[in-house]
Amino acid sequence: MFTTPDDCNSMIVKVSGNERPETFFARRNKQATKSRDIGDNCKFSYNVEVQYKRQQEDKTLNIIVTGGAGFIGSNFVFYMIEKHPEDRIICVDSLTYAGNLSTLESVMDNPAFRFVKLDIRDREGVEKLFVEEKPDVVVNFAAESHVDRSIENPGIFLETNIMGTAVLMDACRKYGIQRFHQVSTDEVYGDLPLDRPDLFFTEETPIHTSSPYSTSKASADLLVLAYHRTYGLPVTISRCSNNYGPYQFPEKLIPLMIANALHDQPLPVYGEGLNVRDWLYVEDHCKAIDLILRGGRVGEVYNIGGHNEMRNIDIVKLICAELGKPESLIKYVTDRKGHDQRYAIDPAKIHGELGWLPETMFKDGIKKTIHWYLDNQAWWETIRSGEYRNYYEKMYGNR
Ligand SMILES: NC(=O)c1ccc[n+]([C@@H]2O[C@H](COP(=O)([O-])OP(=O)(O)OC[C@H]3O[C@@H](n4cnc5c(N)ncnc54)[C@H](O)[C@@H]3O)[C@@H](O)[C@H]2O)c1
């Protein structure tokens, strides 16, 4: 359904439950073109453009990106440096096992980029950085992010994901900020049953978490909204579905399967592999966050997802096929405790308000991703061997 309501502020594409992603996107693209045809009459496209222009005319932004040596954070750093070369990016990362400084090698010498090894729980360090850099914007990617690890050791998830977020927001309150953006996850909504493909998470779906990871992220979200309501902190939150793409740590499903398959090692699949995830190419996520920073309404939550639902087992089989490896490598293992069945995002709000649409279809993105891991074998091999942990010493040891 395409609508231009009286206040003409949105384009709404409704998805019917059992619609295939291809059909959805074909329909959506047609409608998106239609919206461009409407041109000036359509306030949403007008607003987004105006906001972008105003931003470009304004002073440049100092943007703190936390967790920028991780998967999505590093992709965001690259995206922003390319898209907004006038802005300055200060990447804050404590380089946990998931942070890999060598990922950022190509931007290290860029004058518009600075890397700071810092833990977001370190209040004194964070305040010192705010005094030095006077950030206009903070985008918080830093987190413990692996569900399995949260089941083994919840404590660090609470400390980093909740307390670390509070430390950052306290500094924002103390020194002032134009925007604090919290990068959250669709996992805060819990899961959906496999036999109800008509259901999707909207921003109004109640929070209903399953794992210590998702609970820590949901707690942080509540805290972010509380800082907005109580102290008037200008915040936004994005809740995104599963990301895939370059530089993902090879403990997560897609890179793990690619790396194991290339070594002819078993491909461990939880349960029967029937769990469904809504996959989004990482660059589409980065683009959505950028749009929210520049045009999103303060105090709002935006869901980000691409209607690219896939069962885990189908992804693993696809990787085998693409790499020419036998499916006999697949090994079904005991299911994860409390394993969520299905995640599916309704991205109508960000689409309607900011014009965001995912640009990379799963069938293209997965090929691109597999080929990236093939072409960058050294990157993930140094992670598997543990050698990447020496990179910081090599870079900064004598400085
Ligand atoms: N990966 C996904 O599919 C996905 C989907 C939705 C939302 N998210 C969210 O996006 C964010 C980034 O996810 P990711 O997959 O890139 O994670 P990641 O684990 O690859 O990266 C996390 C980064 O944060 C850093 N970090 C951890 N603790 C820190 C601390 N105390 N201080 C400073 N830095 C610290 C790590 O060193 C690492 O570089 C997370 O907040 C996650 O919850 C991820």
Last residue of a domain, one of 40, 58, 76: 58
Q: Does residue 60 contact residue 346 with C-beta atoms inside 8 Å?
A: no
The answer to whether the Cα torsion of 33, 36, 41, 43 is positive or negative is positive
Residue 364 and residue 340 share a domain: yes
Cα 319 to Cα 23: distance, rounded to the nearest angstrom: 24
Query: What residues contact residue 3 under an 8 Å CB cut-off, 6+ apart?
Result: 10, 11, 12
* 115 and 44 inside one domain: no
Query: Ligand 1, residues 64, 65, 66, 72: which to mutate, most atoms within 8 A of Cβ?
Result: 72
Average model confidence (pLDDT) across the chain: 87
Q: Please report, to the nearest 10 degrees, the dihedral formed by the alpha carbons of residues 383, 247, 265, 263 taken in order.
A: -80
- Cα–ligand 1 centroid distance for 14 (angstroms): 31
Best of 123, 140, 145 for a ligand 1 pocket test (most atoms within 8 Å of beta carbon)? 145
Q: Residue 298 sits in a domain of what CATH number?
A: 3.40.50.720
- State whether 50 and 78 are in the same domain: no
Last residue of a domain, one of 58, 79, 103: 58
Least confident of 12-21, 54-63, 159-168: 12-21
Q: Is the CB of 183 under 6 A from ligand 1?
A: yes
Ligand 1: which of 71, 122, 148 to mutate, judged by most atoms within 8 Å of the beta carbon? 71
Q: What is the pLDDT of residue 31?
A: 42
Q: Are residues 234 and 318 in the same domain?
A: yes
Active site residues: 186-187, 213
Tens of pLDDT, residue by residue over 244-282, are: 999 999 989 999 999 999 999 999 999 999 999 999 999
Name the nearest CA neighbour of 80 among 97, 98, 101, 60.
60
Name which residue sits closest to atom 25 of ligand 1, judged by CA. Answer: 67
Which atom of ligand 1 is found nearest the CA of 68? 39
Statement to judge: residues 103 and 127 lie in one domain: yes
- Least confident range of 228-242, 265-279, 384-398: 384-398
150 touches ligand 1 (CB under 6 Å): no
379: containing domain: 59-396
Q: How many folded domains does the chain comprise?
A: 2
Q: Is the CB of 305 under 6 A from ligand 1?
A: no
Of 58, 81, 96, which one is at a domain's C-terminal end?
Answer: 58
Q: What is the DSSP string of 230-292?
A: HH---EEEEEE-EEESTT--TTSHHHHHHHHHHTT--EEEETTS--EEEEEEHHHHHHHHHHH
Q: Out of 36-40, 121-125, 314-318, pick the least confident.
A: 36-40
- What is the 183 CA–ligand 1 centroid distance (Å)? 9
Model pLDDT, residue 20: 42
187-226 pLDDT tens trace: 999 999 999 999 999 999 999 999 999 999 999 999 999 9
My answer on whether 50 and 73 are in the same domain is no
Q: Are residues 45 and 64 in the same domain?
A: no
Mark whether 318 and 209 lie in a shared domain: yes
314 and 371 both lie in a single domain: yes
Residue nearest atom 27 in ligand 1 by C-alpha distance: 143
28 and 71 in a common domain: no
pLDDT at 397: 66
Query: How many angstroms separate the CA atoms of 64 and 141, rounded?
Result: 10
Q: 219 and 331 share a domain?
A: yes
Question: Residues 38, 114: one domain?
Answer: no
